[in-house]
A and B are shown apart, each in its own frame.
Chain A
């Protein structure tokens, strides 16, 4: 059924991670169908109910809002930003790395030395905060800022791969047949360097969830009252002494999501890119 290498890569734990990610994606698409309550509906008489309460499976927060529903709608925001930023990073980084590796010379200096090295000289969250200061918080700012921030990793991977591939016979053959540069770059080199890029895609989603939840924990992610996992943790922290579930439940969802995308990345690596070392 499955190709043998894929079957070998999918350990039971990775299957669980795969199932979790699929479940999250289904919830993202159909949050209104699954969410038992309106995520913004407040009812102070129902505040800070413990998990397991009738009708409020994961309890309520300090304004009486259903935590499960908020997590589901929060997943939309979280995944929209993480996927958007990762896609943007992949496109930007791959183009930059491909150009730098393929052309070499001045292009390489401008892309890899100047562009990539400068971006990597900042801890990501710091540069993201600079972007939020300039553009104000919101999903758009986060996608653009994180897309640029995560691009260097893709650029480095693509660059390294392109350099090793571009001298191979099949690229030479394409040149000999008179294929134009763009064809050679995108139809000959790119497909042959894509495996580690796909692996990095999954790992970058995990990083993006980590960074986004951190920013929204600081109150600098998406604008309230839109629910986000990070801001739910921040709200829960105030009631940590008496009602720890308000923090532990969203915190656990963040951890599980990051773990799941990380595990999927490991599986993808073993399947598509078995030569690379497993150390991250």
Chain B
């Protein structure tokens, strides 16, 4: 088991290295001078030579490429992601301040999706009939709903019409825990709806396939109750593909949260990222992109380890 985990972590580190290389190359492979490119605002007005020089200096573009590459890699490894062009704030510090809020939202959405999605999918597969076909329809709609549209509809009904929950904003856990949780509910639901659908679909098809397996018939003929066969054998065997989908889905959530945070005016990574993209504040964008990619890779390592626990065959 330990060997399996170490192997998986080593592959993950290799992937992080490749991801960093891709991000580094992205700046240099785009045709044109990166400094000029970042300063152009699309209106054709050219930047002053001093400004261009300043950007070059800040990004280290005057150095030979290999030196830049080395500086970039060693910077990331030591947690130095550079300074914002606009505010000169340390990028790592800015991310550190907002990341926990985004993770809290993504974590809550994942929890909702797993707690609802797995029983829902299993129920649909076991009941069949109308429950099953309704599930298929609802989950198709669920995956097609853009989070920013669904989030706005939630605000319309639960904040504006019914006034049950606030429409958006943020309160820190320390100052006002009640409001903090209230403000998390709608964004987490908006984020969870697509993910719940994906998990329910995958659980449904996996359980359905298992229910028709020969060993289920054997277990039934040995006198085990339907309930016992399902609880002890079917569900556990169905969970492997579901765990894979959960791992991939959390990555999607890390992307969708950018939109959801915008809808609900939630000060997580999103506002940092979106404002930086709008202002073409490259160091901040780069820092956030690296953070999210590394998180995604780490989550998938965890998922693979869980997978190994659930199914000893993959631990070869």
Contact = CB atoms under 8 A, between A and B. Distances in A.
Interface of A: 114, 117-119, 121-127, 129-138, 206, 210, 213-214, 217-220, 223, 230, 233-234, 236-237, 240-241, 244, 247-248, 251, 254-255, 258-259, 262-263, 277-280
A76 B156 CA distance: 29
A240 B205 CA distance: 38
Contacts of B254: 123, 126
Contacts of A258: 144, 146
B116 interface: no
11 contacts: A118-B18, A118-B19, A123-B252, A134-B34, A136-B280, A220-B277, A255-B146, A259-B144, A263-B140, A278-B205, A279-B204
Given A122-B289, A134-B27, A279-B201, A218 B144 contact: no
Contacts of B297: 121
A184 B296 CA distance: 38
Main DSSP-derived SS at the B contact region: helix
**3 nearest A-B pairs in the assembled complex, by CB-CB distance:** A123-B255, A251-B149, A279-B205
Interface residues of B, number: 60
Interface string B246-266: 000001101110110011000
A280 B23 CA distance: 30
B69 to A, nearest CB: 16
Contact of A133 (B41, B145, B148, B282): B282
Interface of B: 15, 18-19, 22-23, 26-27, 30, 34, 37-38, 40-42, 140-141, 143-149, 152-153, 155-156, 160, 198, 201-202, 204-206, 241, 251-252, 254-256, 258-259, 262-263, 273-274, 276-278, 280-282, 285-286, 288-289, 292-293, 296-297
A220 B280 CA distance: 11
A124 B15 contact: no
A236 B281 CA distance: 28
B289 A240 contact: no
B146 A218 contact: no
B42 A255 contact: no
A192 to B, nearest CB: 26
B144 A255 contact: yes
A150 to B, nearest CB: 14
Given A130-B289, A136-B42, A125 B258 contact: yes
